[in-house]
Chains A and B, each alone.
Chain A
Amino acid sequence: MANYDFDAIVIGSGISGGWAAKELCEKGMKVLMLDRGRMVEHRKDYITEGKGPWQLAYRGNLPPAETDRDFIMAKWGGANLTAQTHYYNNDRLNPIDYENSQPFRWVRPNQVGGKSLIWGRVALRWSRIDFEANKRDGHGSPWPIDYDEIAPWYSYVEKFAGIAGSKEGLPQLPDGEYQPPHPMNVAELWVKDRLEKAVPGRKLISTRTANMTEDKPEQGRSRCQDRNMCARGCSFGAYFSTQSATLPAARKTNNLTLMSDQVVTNLEYDPKTKRVTGVRVVDANTHQAHIYRSRIVFLCASAMSSTQILLNSRLPGNDRSFADSSGMLGRYIMDHAFRASFWGTVSDPALEPFIAYGRRPNGVYIPRFRNLNGQDADADFVRGYGMQGAAGRGPAGAAGFGAAMKEAMRAYGPWTIRFTAFGECLPYKDNTLSLNPNKLDRFGVPLAVFNVTFRDNEQKMMRDACIQGEAMMKAAGLTGVGSINEEHVPGDAIHEMGGACMGEDPRSSVVNRWSQAHDASNLFVTDGSQMASTSCVNPSMTFMALTARAADYAVKQVKAGAI
């Protein structure tokens, strides 16, 4: 009988790792959770929370020299903002590599809690058509699960996380377990009313978000205070993060051991039993290596990191990963395309007397409307996109200078509304993450090599988003309508997915319908790496649901003596 240090090891402490730790601990397992980043404790370590612009280093912004030196990728996720720079990976110390000079923006966190501290908090369910998409149009590996399979798990995680949203009855964006939605402002309601009348089938709704509108006293969390300083950490616990929600729950069981600054380099594997036998870490500070052993392992290091760890987990005497008998490990790397935007001005004088009080943490959302019932006749692409936006009024600009200008700047400019499309990226087998065996990082791990591009379908989809967006703004009666379709660089949306995709067939996928590795029965890969497609909606709720579901299955298998 093997000698285990823990019942389970969870690698990573972000949205997926936090859920894995909570679920496994609550089911009575002794859990070790590892994170490569530094420790950040709820409240105590939110060092910039509540500060005004004048209290932040450089008034909030890192000078270009430092940004370009240390955060060449992370700046695309906000590392250049000094209110939150401390939550990001240093790209100079932890570099990546490229193949064919294809750029990839891998925005990584640098702490326990991972990206759950700095995420966008958009909390949407995938729909039936999302899970059927690969099967229907033949791209990628077909999903082995459908919406009905995952729906109860969405409900389970939504109730705990605290999601604010409206029920809309839309098949392409299923309703969940929601607290009341955050309110829309007067201009958004104006646009909603006119858009929904002018273009039947289009909807404008309050973005479903993991910022609560009701307290959760049982978790010690309060509703959102409309500060919009979420990415600094929130002492109210108003938004879902590992620190505010899953970590306290896991700790309450006394079953959790949490270790920060532990860089997992690879998993040890026994080909005879087809089991993972150990998790090898290097301490980020001392560079000491250590191997921890457990009955089961949950790999939740983030889509790209989990893939990198698996690629670096070789069969004994072989340079091939034990998890790659399918040849699919590191393939189907995806991200949402999201640099297509459009906007307009609400010129109705009836709105002129009003401004917004408070800083709402969310905005508004136009759910997918393209290719919902088969292929639209006028669409030259498959699948679709959703649109995130908000209306607001900035301070008025003023000509000249002096007291008159200062007085004029006490007024507001017009109400404008702006949206950005999030487009589904198709799974391409040759969009890859691999390792460069000739370049090792400071922990001895081969650098991740990205070779990922958006292609014709994504480009056409984003062009369509601009055309449709402008048409909607005009139909709703807005003025000054415009759009821009900027360069789409993979990784930019920070919705990277794939690399260890889920599928029924062990010959064409890496994990099975339970997020369990085909090649190792005691290994579960439950973060974004398991995704076989991207949908067009934000993925975090799906990672949560799949993780909770996998934990439930894994513990049942352990109890049954199967793994």
Chain B
Amino acid sequence: MTVFDRRGLLATATALLGAELVMPLGRALAAEAVPGFAPSQVQFTPEQRAQVSAICERIIPATDTPGATAAGVPAFIEMMLADWYSSQERDDFLNGLGILEGRSWTQYEKTFPALTAEQQDALLTIALQEHLGGDFFNHCKQMTILGYYTSEIGCRQERVYVPVPGHYDGKYPYAQVKRVFSS
């Protein structure tokens, strides 16, 4: 491999996510990882799975293209917890999920998935700004972004996928595509 091959993905993903990568993703990316979604063991209860789905969908909602749940991001996150997170990191994540769910009950007397989109966004904003459950929001955001933009929907509908470009144009006007080419 060229150095460019070896370093390309890490550089791209770091640019995508910002410099402050959460630890397991940092490890995954240092290993040039773009993990898939086939968890080696079940991580979530049905309730937790519904909560994670709702969170993902608010982070990358359906707009003119499908959102995170349609792209299978919840299963991707479950795989990441199973195969990339350490047991401590996994516990921290599930603990953060519990704290968010607890806040949902104290504030709205409902489980997070049952809230309106506006209520969910309000809670996620609190999680982001007040570091509810430590770094929980960052973990959710970064895993959602990675899972979404490596999914078929993310690559082919949200982004533009060209399997066989046929040539290279290093001065291609962005205005002609107004999207990101997926790799």
Contact = CB atoms under 8 A, between A and B. Distances in A.
A374 interface: no
Nearest to A187: B170
A225 B6 CA distance: 20
Contact of A403 (B1, B63, B175): B63
B55 to A, nearest CB: 9
A103 interface: no
Contact of B165 (A59, A225, A338): A225
Nearest to B67: A406
B5 A400 contact: no
B161 interface: yes
B180 interface: yes
A299 to B, nearest CB: 26
Contacts of A183: 168-170
Contacts of B124: 401
Contacts of A354: 170-174
Interface residues of A, number: 75
Nearest to A414: B15
Interface stretch (A132-140, A358-366, A517-525): A358-366
A413 B18 CA distance: 11
B104 interface: no
A121 B5 CA distance: 11
Interface in B117-148: 121, 124, 128, 141, 145, 147
Contact of B36 (A57, A390, A410): A57
B32 A78 contact: yes
A225 B166 contact: yes
Interface in A360-378: 360, 362-363
Contacts of B178: 410
Interface string B32-51: 11111110100000000000
Interface string A436-458: 00000000000000000000000
A98 interface: no
B181 interface: yes
Contacts of A78: 1, 5-6, 32
Contact of B168 (A118, A360, A410, A412): A360
Contacts of B155: 52-54
Interface in A388-404: 388-390, 392, 394-397, 400-403
A64 interface: yes
A7 to B, nearest CB: 36
Contacts of B162: 357-358
Contact of B152 (A54, A81, A402): A54
Interface string A251-287: 0000000000000000000000000000000000000
A86 B142 CA distance: 29
A392 B128 CA distance: 31
Contacts of B145: 409
A182 B1 CA distance: 17
Given A50-B163, A353-B174, A64 B31 contact: yes
Interface string B1-29: 11111111001100111100000000110
Contacts of B63: 403, 406-407
B6 A52 contact: no
B28 A61 contact: yes
* Interface hub of B59, B170, B173, B175 (most chain A Cβ within 10 A): B170
Given A394-B11, A401-B128, A54 B174 contact: no
Nearest to B36: A59
B69 to A, nearest CB: 14
A418 interface: yes
A321 interface: no
A29 interface: no
B53 interface: no
A402 B5 contact: no
Given A357-B165, A397-B17, A81 B32 contact: yes
B163 A227 contact: yes
Contacts of B167: 225-226, 357-358
A403 B7 contact: no
A47 interface: no
B163 A52 contact: yes
Contacts of B172: 354-357
A403 to B, nearest CB: 5
B3 to A, nearest CB: 4
Contact of B12 (A118, A184, A394, A403): A394
A56 interface: yes
A278 B165 CA distance: 49
Interface in B77-132: 79, 83-84, 121, 124, 128
Contact of B76 (A55, A59, A118, A406): A59
Contacts of B2: 120-122, 207, 362-363, 388
A394 B58 contact: no
B180 A395 contact: yes
A442 B135 CA distance: 47
B180 A410 contact: yes
Contacts of B183: 53, 228, 359
A353 to B, nearest CB: 6
Contacts of A530: none
Interface in A40-79: 50, 52-61, 63-65, 67, 75, 77-78
A356 to B, nearest CB: 5
B121 A59 contact: no
Contact of B169 (A75, A187, A357, A411): A357
Given A55-B152, A56-B36, A409-B180, 9 more contacts: A52-B163, A54-B152, A75-B31, A355-B177, A358-B169, A390-B4, A392-B12, A411-B180, A420-B3
28 contacts: A53-B151, A54-B152, A58-B35, A59-B150, A60-B33, A60-B34, A61-B28, A61-B31, A63-B83, A80-B33, A120-B2, A186-B171, A355-B174, A355-B177, A356-B181, A357-B167, A357-B172, A357-B181, A362-B4, A363-B4, A394-B15, A401-B128, A402-B61, A406-B60, A410-B178, A410-B180, A413-B15, A416-B11
Interface of A: 50, 52-61, 63-65, 67, 75, 77-78, 80-81, 118-122, 182-189, 207, 225-228, 230-231, 338, 341, 353-360, 362-363, 388-390, 392, 394-397, 400-403, 405-407, 409-413, 416, 418, 420
